[in-house]
Structure 1
Amino acid sequence: MLKLVLQIFGIALVLVGGLWTLQGSGLLSWPQESFMLGQGEWAIYGLIALAAGLVLLWLARRSSRRPPPRR
């Protein structure tokens, strides 16, 4: 269950972080009314979110490699 939650949040952060990075750097002008377009700080926030998402995905993958606990 924890693995699934980490994967869902990880994928969401990677997608949102990528969008924020592209919008903030001015490479993506969608949607036109977005306040993030061309704003450098949003590119930085996007990179942080993207990195956090990759860490969550790495943790989810790592948790599946652990042997089950002994009882």
Structure 2
Amino acid sequence: MVNGRTGAEPPRRENAMKGWLALTLGLLAVVLGAVWTVQGLGYVEGSVMTDQRIWATVGPVFVLVGLVVIWLGLRARARR
């Protein structure tokens, strides 16, 4: 018996799902940040954000935030 549970019991559902929200949101932030970066740099045309320096700056920051959120999600999953 470990932590009040025997080995025969299945893992609790809340532990099995821990970290998935952070991983999903982090991945979404990384993808959006990458798209914003290439739009801001002018590689993707047909958008209001094309060739706008602010998006070339905000994009990489958003990618970094997404990577931190992914890292936190992976740590939460590893602790279960």
Q: TM-score, with normalisation over the residues of structure 2?
A: 0.72
Find out whether 1:29 has 2:44 as its counterpart: yes
* Per-residue deviation, 1:17: 0.2
Question: Which residue identity does 1:65 align to in structure 2?
Answer: A
Q: Note the aligned Cα RMSD (angstroms).
A: 1.3
Once the two structures are superposed, what CA deviation does each residue of 1:2-40 show, in whole Å capped at 9, x if it has no partner? Answer: 4011011001000000000011011x224x1x1110111
Question: Number of residue pairs matched?
Answer: 64
User: Residues 44 and 14 of structure 1: is their aligned pair in 2 closer, same or farther, counting only changes over 3 Å?
Assistant: same
SS at match of 2:22: helix
Which residues of 2 match residues 1-71 of structure 1 at below 5 A?
A: 1-26=17-42, 28-30=43-45, 32=46, 34-66=47-79, 68=80
Higher helix share: 1
Q: Give 4+ residue runs of structure 1 displaced > 6 Å after superposition.
A: none
The unaligned stretches of length 5 or more in structure 2 are: 1-16
Q: Which has the larger radius of gyration?
A: 2
Identity %: 34
> TM-score, normalised to structure 1's length?
0.80
